[in-house]
Amino acid sequence: MAEIINMPKLGFDMAEGTLIRWIIQEGEQVARGAVLAEIETDKATVEVEAVQEGVMKRHLVTEGTVVPVNAPIAVLGAVDEEINLSVLLGETTAGNIEIGQKPVETNASSVSEVGEISQPATVQTASDLPGSVRASPIARKMAEDIGLDLKQVKGSGPGGRITKKDIENYQPSLPKTAAPAPVSLQGTKPGMPATQPLPYLPSLLLPAPESVTVPLNKLRALIGKRMVDAKQLIPHFYITHEYDVRVLLDLRKEINSLIPDDQKISVNDFMIKAAALGLRQFPNLNASLQGDQIIQHGNVNIGVAVAVEGGLLTIVCKDADRKPLRQIAMEVRTMANRARSGKVRPDDIEGSTFSVSNLGMFSVESFVAIINPPEAAILAVGSANQVPVVEEGAIATGWRMKATISVDHRVSDGAEAARYLQALQSLIEKPLSLLV
């Protein structure tokens, strides 16, 4: 049975994506889970995978095309299966645009008889604006970091699009400059100290610093818009709790001594598991506000903030309350590596119901995080620090870590959030409970 492959929707605010490369060509065999194509969103470059096996019967869009979410991009079918696109696409036809032609401008997205999706006349991406250069977000970020003008780079991607590889392989042609003339010191002889200092040459030694204007990349602009919306629309409140993590750190050290380096468990993995288990008791914090209703989610899917080139991505550890600690560690590490390399998968960044952000690895003792809509709360985890503590009336050395929860006041209140942090205390300070 033929299947239509649609442009996936990666997040509730995604409206379109750019198909940047076909991996599977027409007529090639497709295995379940094989990567069909790469698409680019405002956040990342994402691989589209096949959910069933078959043969790639037809590409419905060409590389470099901007496609609305849920619009068809390809047809997958059996080897000898005849494909009737008019029937398959529900009789949705619009003109005679052929594959490879430039889509005709129109005020509404449509599908041609051969499946090419025409672009809305009102939609322009950053790389289509007059005077701009077509480049991927990662390539733009790399160029910004080294002060490289993208107009000097020849792109090897579809339509001359500049890729990460183009930036890495760029070889500038350096202009020849004359060496400064040597400074002569009068009144000196060989072996004798100078009788006067070197003249001040600011034009040669200290070029005047210049201000630099750096345009926002697509990911940074999207993050900015979402965070502004979140702070303006969501009434945040914050509560901080301090935890004794000495036993947790000892347990982590013992576990990691028994497993390979590529499977080691981080403090953040413990926090993800603890946060997920705690949410079972507090469904209001594992929720979303929709109109005048609070939707308490059945699954506990923990979003984990990951720093990537050009901004931040939230990967999602699904059903974290039901997974063992080692599986959480493995999944988070794998998804984070994909995110940092620009190869994140659609399922990696979809469906979070609560988020954890950790800056402890940067020695940040505590901070507050902005809620990630449509979630109702986020937990900000700081560093574990060795501090003097009072135990049974005597000064001792202990390990303490702070965590701050940000909560949507429309969904919950301070007392409930405080009880949740107390529930985390019993899990964090008795970490064996996270292993059973």
- Tally of CB atoms within 10 A around 78: 13
Task: Tell which residue, 172, 313, 326, has the closest CA to residue 262.
Answer: 326
Task: Tell which residue, 398, 432, 219, 246, has the closest CA to residue 307.
Answer: 219
- Strongest mean pLDDT among 14-23, 74-83, 226-235: 226-235
* Average pLDDT over every residue of 322-339: 96
For residues 127 and 105, what is the distance between their CA atoms, to the nearest angstrom?
17
- Residues 208-221: tens digit of each pLDDT: 788 999 888 888 88
Residues 243-279 as b or e (16 or more Cβ within 10 Å = b) = bebbebbebbeebeeeeeeeeebbbbbbbbbbbbbbb
Q: What is the pLDDT of residue 12?
A: 67
CATH architecture of the region 235-434: 2-Layer Sandwich (3.30)
Q: What is the pLDDT of residue 317?
A: 98
For residues 156 and 162, what is the distance between their CA atoms, to the nearest angstrom?
6
Q: Write out the two tokens for 222.
A: 């999207």
- Residues 163-208: tens digit of each pLDDT: 777 887 887 665 555 555 555 545 555 555 555 555 544 444 556 7
Instruction: Calculate the dihedral angle through the C-alpha atoms of 228, 230, 231, 236, rounding to the nearest 10 degrees.
Output: -170
Q: What is the pLDDT of residue 145?
A: 76
Q: In the chain, which segments carry CATH 3.30.559.10?
A: 235-434
Which superfamily does 126-168 belong to?
A: E3-binding domain (4.10.320.10)
Q: What is the pLDDT of residue 156?
A: 80
CATH architecture of the region 3-118: Beta Barrel (2.40)
Compute the C-alpha angle 231/236/238, nearest 5°: 130
Task: Tell which residue, 267, 280, 376, 371, has the closest CA to residue 329.
Answer: 267
CB distance 320 to 300 below 8 Å: yes
- Residues 337-368: tens digit of each pLDDT: 999 988 888 899 999 999 999 999 999 999 99
Q: In the chain, which segments carry CATH 4.10.320.10?
A: 126-168
Q: In the chain, which segments carry CATH 2.40.50.100?
A: 3-118
Q: Which residue stretches of 158-211 are H helix?
A: 164-168, 202-205
Catalytic residue among 59, 241, 297, 409: 409
CB distance 428 to 247 below 8 Å: no
- At 410, give phi and psi (nearest 5°): -75, -20
Task: Tell which residue, 65, 48, 57, 68, has the closest CA to residue 3.
Answer: 57
Q: Is 297 a catalytic residue?
A: no
- Residues 372-426: tens digit of each pLDDT: 999 999 999 999 999 999 988 999 999 999 999 999 999 999 999 999 999 999 9
Average pLDDT, the chain: 83
- At 190, give phi and psi (nearest 5°): -55, 135
